Amino acid sequence: MGKKLKVGKARKDKFYHLAKETGYRSRSSFKLIQLNRKFQFLQKARALVDLCAAPGGWLQVATKFMPVSSLIIGVDLVPIRPIPNVVALQEDITSDKCRQAIRKELQTWKVDVVLNDGAPNVGANWQHDAFTQAHLTLMAMKLAAEFLTKGGTFVTKVFRSKDYQPLLWIFQQFFKKVQATKPQASRNESAEIFVVCQGFLAPDKIDSRFFDPKHAFKEVEVQAKTVKELIPVKKPKAEGYKDGDLTLHYSFTVTSFLKAENAVDFLDKASEITFDNTDLEFHPATSIEIRECCRDIKVLGRKELRLLLTWRATLRRFLAKKLKGEAKPLDPEINLSSDEEKGGFEDEPDKKKKKEGEEEEEDEEKEMEKKLAELKAEEVSELKRKKKKLLKERRKQRERVELKMDLPGVSIADSHDSSMFSLSAIKKKQALADLAKGDMRAAENLAEDDDYFHLSEDDEADKISLASDLDDDDLEEVELRQQELEMKAPKKKVKFAEEEEEDEGQDSGLLVELEGKDEKKQRETNLWFSKGIFSEIGLEGDAESELQQTELLQNKQAIKGKKRKAEAVEEEKEEEKKDALREEEKAVPLKEAKDETDDSDDDTDDEKEITKMKQVTEGAGGMSEGAKETGFQVVPVESTSKKARILDAEGMALGCLIATSKKRARDLLDGSFHRFAISEQQWEVPEWFLDDERKHRKKPVPVTKEMVEEYKQKWKEIDARPIKRVAEAKARKKRRMLKKMDQAKKKAEAVVDTVDISEREKMSQLKSIYKKAGLGKEKREVTYLVSKKGAGKKVRRPAGVKGAFKVVDGRMKKDMRGMQRKEQKSKGGKGRGQAKGGKGGMKGGKGRKGR
């Protein structure tokens, strides 16, 4: 076959798959199988020449159906991969060299069958392609005439073009019986047809003009012409002239055009419109184009005719107005020059006026109606668009639910703006900063501003699904949280803090960086040494030792913080995570103390003190316990720029309260300023004290248990869901599987439909199809046995072992384990997350080595 294979999807029909399955080189093999089934020419043949045989599908069929040790020769422009018992020649069948090559192979033999499935490289244009094809067929016929034995069969492909008939005529001159057929395997849309010519007459002498395309195709062209001539051409029905009317050209005046009852009929009849009224002729609406159009109506197109109709309407309006006395005539003398019109108007002026007025109204009404109809149509199309969009969304949601990417009624993909719970979305940082300073007016303004809450006050808020409240970032956070919970590794949290530190300086709406890194450090140092205890020691003036002390104390503080944190992690890992999330959400940034030396105002002092405490505690590296209690914590800016805050059930319930009542929101904000809000955690206090504080220094949150339960339930649903990427991967896998199944089904159907192969063969093909698609038997379970003899040795089936078993080397397993232990030990200090990775590696090792 030529190199340019059509590999479009459409080509891959059942015969394509069948050929692949049965090992035939081309789908056209089935065409020959079907032709042979009908005409039975292969079974009796002892020698065969297949012209245009590459890649060799027909040759394969020939070897299969012809008696063993038959002579089979295949010829093609391109090389044919070897086929047992087939002689393959690489020649152009239109050349003399090809003829000689075949002669050389056949010697004195004649063949019983000549096949031709030639298809030249096509693509120039249809006519050219058709001719090349016909020419190729003619050349094949020429070879057949030379090499066929008397009574032999010639099977050829022909394209149904204008040369089809001449070819058939030629075939009929050489064969007893010529039959055209289209096997099932030939596509319906293809113009190819197969002609089976049986009973070669083997004439002693053949006129060379038979195979000269000029002669061969010309002859029948003439025939075809005669045939054409035979077909009676339908003459148009003669209508004749109307009685007594011998005119072809009709000229009418413009007034008659204006007065015509049916303007369209008038234009249909008229050939010309002349101007009998100068008033109308020089009317501004009578443009040069209109005048030109009036000259020859018969040649006008749709557009021009419409133009004339509009012009007519304008003139009619103008006349009506004029009659009412509204319009001044351009030329009073020629106002109504037409006798006909004059008479008409003079006779019944009132009637005419009335009529004109009515017509005008009618026109206006019509226009109105038209506009209304247009508007309606627009509305309808808009509605349709909306409906379509809605249906599309629903369909998508359904698909997602089917693929287990969503819960029914809950959509991850929902992109409603519900950033109510995202601090990063809150833009009113100034107001919140004022609020942090204790300015209650700011709180009121904030609460009154609907934008702040993002959610409408109606009950919709309750209906909004939890998942749809989450934007992409939130979802990522949920996934992260799930992964965290799965891993249960404290390492992650530490990493979080690191990341947050790295992201410093990024703008994040509400949560902004208060100062640079160095400034912060400096301030913390100053803050630390501003304590009374240091003034007592009298370190002033000794800068160097002061610095050393600072570092020492800071390190100490940091170590303590870390130690405490590690302990907390050990005690209640999960609990702490939830707390952390809740605390993060509740966090409100406190404005930096402006001037630390200024202590004139008491209120400002208190505020500064709070800020200092929090900052120092944070500087120590651990999360402030006091902050947990009070609901306040200095939120590091960097984290919010990337991570959305996730609320726990209690937080969600609180959020719901805030969203539904402005008063409650205000109360809540007011309530957050209480005596427990001041953290004293920085002082050295015993652990039991802290425990006690944790238990009792909490202001109860005004949410009911039921509300919390409800939100917990929602969280559970979300937690139970596989993370987005996993769900997507699963869905992809499922889709692939379904596709594979589909393909296998198609192939299987094709095999079942085939009649040329035995049941047994069909069965084996079906089996292989299903096996390839992975739909066969389940993977058999193998039991691995550790034997002292070593792997690969023959061992008798031990008692209790059923099914397949494999003997593996015990030492190998031990070695592996030893190596893994060593590896783990070396990684020991690096945290649990890594240890887990090591475990994964172990598993991998096991799988690869098979124990």
Ligand X SMILES: C[S@@+](CC[C@H](N)C(=O)[O-])C[C@H]1O[C@@H](n2cnc3c(N)ncnc32)[C@H](O)[C@@H]1O
Shortest distance in whole angstroms from residue 54 CB to ligand X? 4
Q: CB atoms < 10 A from the CB of 117, how many?
A: 24
Q: Which two tokens stand for residue 116?
A: 């031709």
Exposure class string for 735-764: b at 16+ Cβ within 10 A, else e? eeeeeeeeebebbbebbeebebbeeeebee
Query: Which residue type sits at 348?
Result: E
Inter-residue contact 681 to 625 (CB < 8 Å): yes
Q: Is 78 in the site for ligand X (CB under 6 A)?
A: yes
Q: Among residues 78 and 380, whose Cβ is nearest to ligand X?
A: 78
Residues 778-807 that bind ligand X (CB under 6 A): none
Residue nearest to ligand X according to CB distances in the complex? 57
Pick the binder of ligand X from 15, 16, 30, 58 (CB under 6 A): 58
For residues 738 and 818, what is the distance between their CA atoms, to the nearest angstrom?
44
For residues 14 and 753, what is the distance between their CA atoms, to the nearest angstrom?
9
* Binding map of ligand X across residues 253-292, x = CB under 6 A, - = no contact: ----------------------------------------
542 annotated ligand-binding residue:
no
Residues 198-257 that bind ligand X (CB under 6 A): none
Shortest distance in whole angstroms from residue 1 CB to ligand X? 4
Query: Which residue type sits at 506?
Result: Q
Q: How far apart are the first and last CA of the chain?
A: 51
Inter-residue contact 133 to 159 (CB < 8 Å): yes
Shortest distance in whole angstroms from residue 24 CB to ligand X? 8
Which of these segments, 111-119, 318-326, 515-523, 779-787, binds ligand X (CB under 6 A)? 111-119
Query: Which residue type sits at 79?
Result: P
Pick the binder of ligand X from 21, 112, 117, 469 (CB under 6 A): 117
Angstrom CA distances, 66 to 107, 156, 417, 453, stand at 20, 18, 75, 86
Q: Among residues 28 and 397, whose Cβ is nearest to ligand X?
A: 28
Which of these segments, 52-60, 428-436, 711-719, 822-830, binds ligand X (CB under 6 A)? 52-60
Which of these segments, 114-122, 220-228, 665-673, 776-784, binds ligand X (CB under 6 A)? 114-122
Inter-residue contact 714 to 466 (CB < 8 Å): yes
Q: Which of 299, 314, 336 is nearest to 263 (CA)?
A: 314
Burial grade of 462 (CB within 10 A; 0-12, 13-18, 19 or more): exposed
Pick the binder of ligand X from 18, 66, 87, 93 (CB under 6 A): 93
Pick the binder of ligand X from 94, 397, 411, 679 (CB under 6 A): 94
Shortest distance in whole angstroms from residue 97 CB to ligand X? 11
Shortest distance in whole angstroms from residue 195 CB to ligand X? 15
Q: Is 425 in the site for ligand X (CB under 6 A)?
A: no
Q: Among residues 27 and 662, whose Cβ is nearest to ligand X?
A: 27
Q: Among residues 25 and 662, whose Cβ is nearest to ligand X?
A: 25
847 annotated ligand-binding residue:
no
Pick the binder of ligand X from 17, 18, 21, 29 (CB under 6 A): 29
Which of these segments, 92-100, 284-292, 400-408, 668-676, binds ligand X (CB under 6 A)? 92-100
Pick the binder of ligand X from 19, 45, 54, 170 (CB under 6 A): 54
Shortest distance in whole angstroms from residue 118 CB to ligand X? 4
Pick the binder of ligand X from 55, 152, 561, 636 (CB under 6 A): 55
Inter-residue contact 565 to 653 (CB < 8 Å): no
Pick the binder of ligand X from 14, 17, 25, 662 (CB under 6 A): 25
Residues 342-381 that bind ligand X (CB under 6 A): none
- The residue from 14, 157, 565, 577 that is catalytic is 157
Inter-residue contact 836 to 487 (CB < 8 Å): yes
Q: Among residues 193 and 558, whose Cβ is nearest to ligand X?
A: 193
Q: Which of 639, 630, 618 is nearest to 523 (CA)?
A: 618
Pick the binder of ligand X from 15, 42, 63, 76 (CB under 6 A): 76
Shortest distance in whole angstroms from residue 214 CB to ligand X? 19
Pick the binder of ligand X from 20, 99, 105, 120 (CB under 6 A): 120
φ/ψ of 827, rounded to 5, equals -90, -10
Contacts of 461 (CB under 8 A, 6+ apart): 455, 656, 659, 660
Residue 176 DSSP SS3: strand
Which of these segments, 75-83, 441-449, 698-706, 775-783, binds ligand X (CB under 6 A)? 75-83
Shortest distance in whole angstroms from residue 93 CB to ligand X? 4
Q: Which two tokens stand for residue 203?
A: 């004439």
Inter-residue contact 295 to 272 (CB < 8 Å): yes
Q: Which of 35, 39, 90 is nearest to 61 (CA)?
A: 35
Shortest distance in whole angstroms from residue 62 CB to ligand X? 10
Q: Is 28 in the site for ligand X (CB under 6 A)?
A: yes
Question: Which residue is it, tokens 């038997």?
Answer: 777
CA quadruple 454, 456, 457, 462: dihedral, nearest 10:
-90
The one-character DSSP state at 685 is -
φ/ψ of 49, rounded to 5, equals -120, 125
Shortest distance in whole angstroms from residue 101 CB to ligand X? 11
Q: Among residues 97 and 355, whose Cβ is nearest to ligand X?
A: 97
| Residue 157 bears catalytic tag | yes
Q: Is 183 in the site for ligand X (CB under 6 A)?
A: no
For residues 624 and 678, what is the distance between their CA atoms, to the nearest angstrom?
11
Q: Is 833 in the site for ligand X (CB under 6 A)?
A: no
Q: DSSP string spanning 179-211?
A: EEE--TTS-TTS-EEEEEEEEE---S---GGGG
Q: Which two tokens stand for residue 758?
A: 């035995």
Shortest distance in whole angstroms from residue 61 CB to ligand X? 8
Pick the binder of ligand X from 14, 17, 21, 26 (CB under 6 A): 26
Q: Among residues 111 and 653, whose Cβ is nearest to ligand X?
A: 111
For residues 9 and 461, what is the distance between their CA atoms, to the nearest angstrom?
50
Q: CB atoms < 10 A from the CB of 291, how many?
A: 12
Contacts of 196 (CB under 8 A, 6+ apart): 35, 38, 39, 41, 153, 154, 155, 178, 179, 180, 181
Using CB under 6 A as the binding criterion, the count of chain residues that bind ligand X stands at 24
Shortest distance in whole angstroms from residue 80 CB to ligand X? 8
Q: Is 53 in the site for ligand X (CB under 6 A)?
A: yes
Residue 671 DSSP SS3: helix
Name the H helices within 593-679.
602-619, 625-630, 637-642, 649-660, 662-671
Residues 124-153 that bind ligand X (CB under 6 A): 136
Q: Among residues 54 and 514, whose Cβ is nearest to ligand X?
A: 54
The two beta strands, 192-200 and 148-159, are antiparallel
Q: Among residues 51 and 280, whose Cβ is nearest to ligand X?
A: 51
Which of these segments, 49-57, 372-380, 433-441, 616-624, binds ligand X (CB under 6 A)? 49-57
Q: Among residues 57 and 655, whose Cβ is nearest to ligand X?
A: 57
117 annotated ligand-binding residue:
yes
Residue 234 DSSP SS3: coil
For residues 63 and 80, what is the distance between their CA atoms, to the nearest angstrom?
15
Which of these segments, 56-64, 399-407, 676-684, 811-819, binds ligand X (CB under 6 A)? 56-64
Query: Which residue type sits at 740?
Result: K
For residues 687 and 536, what is the distance between their CA atoms, to the nearest angstrom?
27
Residues 719-778 that bind ligand X (CB under 6 A): none
Q: Among residues 94 and 630, whose Cβ is nearest to ligand X?
A: 94
Pick the binder of ligand X from 49, 72, 102, 118 (CB under 6 A): 118
Residues with a known catalytic role? 157
- Contact footprint for ligand X (CB under 6 A): 1-2, 25-26, 28-29, 52-58, 76-78, 92-94, 117-120, 136
Annotated binding-site ranges: 56, 58, 76, 92, 117
Which residues participate in the annotated binding site for S-adenosyl-L-methionine? 56, 58, 76, 92, 117
